Amino acid sequence: MDSLIAKIHLTCYNEEKFRDLRGMETLNRKDSLALISALSDAYGPSGFEDEAVAVAREAMADVTDLAEDPLRNLYMSRRENTGNRPMVMLDAHSDEVGFMIRSVLPNGTMRFLPLGGWSASAVSAHKVRVRAADGSWVSGIVAAQPVHYLSAAEKGKAPEISQMVIDVGACSSAEVSAMGIGVGAPVVPDVIFEYNEKNGVMLGKAFDCRVGCAVLCDVLRELKGEELSVDVTGVLTSQEEVGDRGVQVAAHTVRPDLAIVFEGAPADDTFVPEPEIQTGLGRGVMLRHYDLGMITNPRFMRFALQAAQDAGIPTQQAVRTGGRTNGAQINLSGEGVPVVVLSVPVRYAHSHHGFSSIEDYESTVRLAVQLLRLMDEEVINRF
């Protein structure tokens, strides 16, 4: 983990560890933060997840057997798998919301389209990185017209994304071409991970779903060498933000009997009144009963909530009026798969910057580990 730890932008760490039900030392917070930092800082919009996959490969090479498919899904199979036990699939998507260049204008600015769901109000005036043909990343800005040049009618009216441009400091289309940038180039927010040790809050980009990717990796690392009653394959799936695409291939490949999906779920605790908060920072792992893609298997949900209660793991529950996860595709694969979604709350998801709590993260890891330790064929058949 040394190279991952070197990436993190902290001056100090709390070497705090938490303990599971058996009283054994588990996650090292320093290593978890290093992994989250490396995954968050990696550039990987939908279809271009290479850097995030490379980080996970490095972190998991000594823990799991690794394989990839043409969609850049990364499969991480426990070396303790036997092939004759129920298969549990762990899922987290490796892509982040970003953009793609669709045209270069004569003045050197570029029109772009969103990869994933963006609010126009969250896009303008932010710094981004545009990938050149040689794989390097060029700094740019989503241009914001100075107030000095706005008419009275234009003031206070946000432009649509289709009207925005990215500026990399060029003065002509030829100059943009000389930088190796052209139509189809991916674009990502330019944000560096930070951690506030005083309150345990992380700030960074792509927490949807890089915190989920880190959870998945930490769960497999925690269970290294441990005998379970199920086989487990973790998959970092591609292109979730543009229509749950990678998971459709992954579910067909893994053919799970049960699945746990990890997400960085949008928090609502700064937008709604206290009684209506369903996903708040620092309140534990969030489990959703319903979203637009799936009604969670109620028997699996009750089992997960009881396991959390028995282990003293804080949870929060949600009935979402919008959004969906990869769980929807896994749920409908094969002959039908019981799925539960465990989410780390993310304030301001699908924008350049997000906040997440390291304690919520650790609660998510703990619950997933506990569920896998409790799982066997008889339990799964009850779902």
Which pTM was predicted?
A: 0.92
Is 98-189 in the same CATH topology as 2-96+205-382? no
- pLDDT tens for 145-176 read 777 777 777 777 778 999 999 999 999 999 99
Cα dihedral sign, 320-323-327-333? positive
Backbone region of residue 259 per phi and psi (left: phi > 0; alpha: psi in -120 to 50; beta: other values): beta
What single string gives the DSSP state of each residue in 181-249? Answer: --TT-EEEE----EEETTTTEEEES-HHHHHHHHHHHHHHHHTTT---SSEEEEEEES-GGGTS-HHHH
Q: Domain residue spans in the chain?
A: 2-96+205-382, 98-189
Alpha helices in the chain (DSSP H): 2-7, 29-41, 50-60, 173-178, 207-222, 246-254, 298-311, 327-331, 358-374, 377-382
Q: Are 218 and 32 in contact (CB under 8 A)?
A: yes
Output the pLDDT for position 233. 98
Candidates 187, 332, 160, 142; CA nearest to 248 is 332
Output the pLDDT for position 155. 74
Residues 262 and 264: their CA atoms lie apart, in Å, by: 7
- pLDDT tens for 280-313 read 999 999 999 999 999 999 999 999 999 999 999 9
3-state helix, strand, coil in the chain (%, to 5): 30, 25, 40
What single string gives the DSSP state of each residue in 194-212? Answer: EEETTTTEEEES-HHHHHH
Low-confidence ranges of the chain (pLDDT < 50): 1, 5, 7-25
Output the pLDDT for position 147. 79
Candidates 48, 63, 61; CA nearest to 186 is 48
Question: How far is residue 237 CA from its own chain's centroid?
Answer: 10
Output the pLDDT for position 24. 38
Output the pLDDT for position 26. 54
Domain 2-96+205-382 has CATH 3.40.630.10: yes
- State which CATH number among 1.20.140.10, 3.90.1300.10, 3.40.50.2000, 2.40.30.40 fits the domain covering 98-189: 2.40.30.40
Place of tokens 């994933």: 116
Sheet strands (E) in 275-360: 285-290, 315-319, 339-346, 354-357
